[in-house]
Structure 1
Amino acid sequence: MKIEVWSDYVCPFCYIGKRRLEEALEETGLGDKAEIVFKAFQIDPNTPTTSDESIQEGLAKKYGMSVDETKKMTENVAAQAKTVGLDYDFDNMKPANTFNAHRLAKLAEEQGISGEMSERLLRAYFIDAEAIGENDVLLRIAEEMGLDQNRTKAMLESDEFTTDVKNDITEAGKIGVQGVPFFVINRKYGISGAQSAEEFASALRKVAAEEGVEPALKVLGEDAKGLCTDGSCEI
């Protein structure tokens, strides 16, 4: 089962949606049957690389609202994030352009750690309030994730993976993605937005039934207790 996820690292609902999808995969026992592919999207490609504005000030300017109104809006989003175990730090995060972060994710995908990098970048922005638009921050994150520093630095200073990121964004437009998160399962079904874990689970079960995919068994009880294996028994 292939699940393609269009998302942006400054999209609060993308992180929430990711958690709800993971919850659904665990609940349905289909986690080891799913290949998750992360696709790039930019909510606002015109956002500067760095900014001294608070996220509330940036939102107020963008939507023509007062800062007090945007604070209430982000408080509501933070409350939703808490329901899936995420503690958003809207007080300290600032607007950031994510194009280079998406390029870093493409490098990580090349190295086989796409999922881990996507998680790290989302946590960097929403939990740790890091400036993920800045190359020095991305270099540090890359080092944490085990990527070669010289390779990463050369990538960030070039236009490598620029076409790949742009192709993801173009593809999103072609299949009708108007906002993120957007999930495509087996190129048959699309799920728009951070739906509930129950909605995700229902969709996953539907696709699994159509494709003849059997979920893994849920093993109950304590691990390796009262078990005989490989010619020996746990006494």
Structure 2
Amino acid sequence: MKITYWSDYACPYCYIGETRLRNVIKDMPEFKDEEVEFEMKAFQLDPYAGVHATGDTQTRFAKKYGISMEEAGDTIEHISQLGRDEGIDFKYATTLFTNTMDAHRLTKFAMEKGDKELTDKLTRRLYAAYFTDNKELADKDLLLSIAVDCGFDAGEVKAVLDSDKYHDEVVLDEREASRYGIHAVPCFIICDYALQGAQPAEYMKSALLKAMEKESSKVDESQGMTCGPDGCRIG
């Protein structure tokens, strides 16, 4: 089974949703002998974000959603707990929001190499760099270090990061999302079945079974926790 999903490395629900989906699959006997391939598609929450963080997450939340600092802190902690519930060392409060284009370009490079295991390892490391280690994902030295640790060739990675290679592929992913009516992430396409947002585990399980049975070929109208260019669903 192939699962294609649109995501951004700075999206908390993307990290939570993908991890939850993997956990659900791991616990489903129906997938004991099923090979599952994850393919990530790029979706930048803010293509115009800078290369350095300009403020802390709590202040940014309060300003973006028009809520108090206390409310922002409570919301961030709630989201962090959702991540911890999935086994992630989730530290959303101290994330450093920057541009993610280079992280997505690096992912495209990894995918072109054709080693799915290494690509999965890279995507997980990039999520963790942002939400656990609280690094700036626009830092090319950081991206180089992560890629090399994952097993990619340093010279090849540096050549990619020092160029604009794979930029167009990232943009094409985002245009494809728009054509499909995907305006917030995560969005998982499982066979022909679309699962929107970081849905509850039981809902994910149901969607996986429907996909296996090929019961649906349309996007499900139900939407879980997502983030888009205008922000995340925090209610």
TM value normalised by structure 2:
0.84
Question: Retained in 1: the 8 A contact 2:76–2:93?
Answer: no
SS at match of 1:206: helix
Which residue is equivalent to 1:215?
A: none
Cα deviation per residue 1:156-185 (whole Å; 9 max; x = unaligned)?
111100011111111001001111110011
Which residue is equivalent to 2:125?
A: 120
Which residue is equivalent to 1:30?
A: 31
Which residue is equivalent to 1:89?
A: 91
| Unpaired runs of at least 5, structure 2 | 216-235
Question: Retained in 2: the 8 A contact 1:58–1:95?
Answer: no
Superposition CA RMSD, Å: 1.6
Which residue is equivalent to 2:144?
A: 139
Counterpart code for 1:147: F
Counterpart code for 1:47: A
**Number of matched pairs:** 210
Which residue is equivalent to 2:65?
A: 63
Which residue is equivalent to 1:189?
A: 193
Which residue is equivalent to 1:8?
A: 8
Question: Retained in 1: the 8 A contact 2:62–2:69?
Answer: yes
Which residue is equivalent to 2:103?
A: 101
TM value normalised by structure 1:
0.84
Question: Retained in 2: the 8 A contact 1:27–1:201?
Answer: no
Which residue is equivalent to 1:223?
A: none
Q: Flag the structure with more relative contact order, 1 or 2, with Cα contacts below 8 A and sequence separation at least 6.
A: 1
SS at match of 1:3: strand
| Unpaired runs of at least 5, structure 1 | 212-235
| d(CA) in 1 for partners of 2:82, 2:76 | 10
Deviates more, 1:104-113 or 1:169-178: 104-113
Report sequence identity in percent.
Answer: 38
| d(CA) in 2 for partners of 1:168, 1:181 | 13
| d(CA) in 2 for partners of 1:70, 1:94 | 16
Deviates more, 1:169-178 or 1:111-120: 111-120
In the alignment, structure 1 residue 174 sits paired with structure 2 residue 210: no
| d(CA) in 2 for partners of 1:62, 1:46 | 16
Counterpart code for 1:145: C
| d(CA) in 2 for partners of 1:144, 1:74 | 30
Q: CA deviation at 1:52?
A: 4.1
Cα deviation per residue 1:173-206 (whole Å; 9 max; x = unaligned)?
10011111100112x2111110122211111112
Counterpart code for 1:15: Y
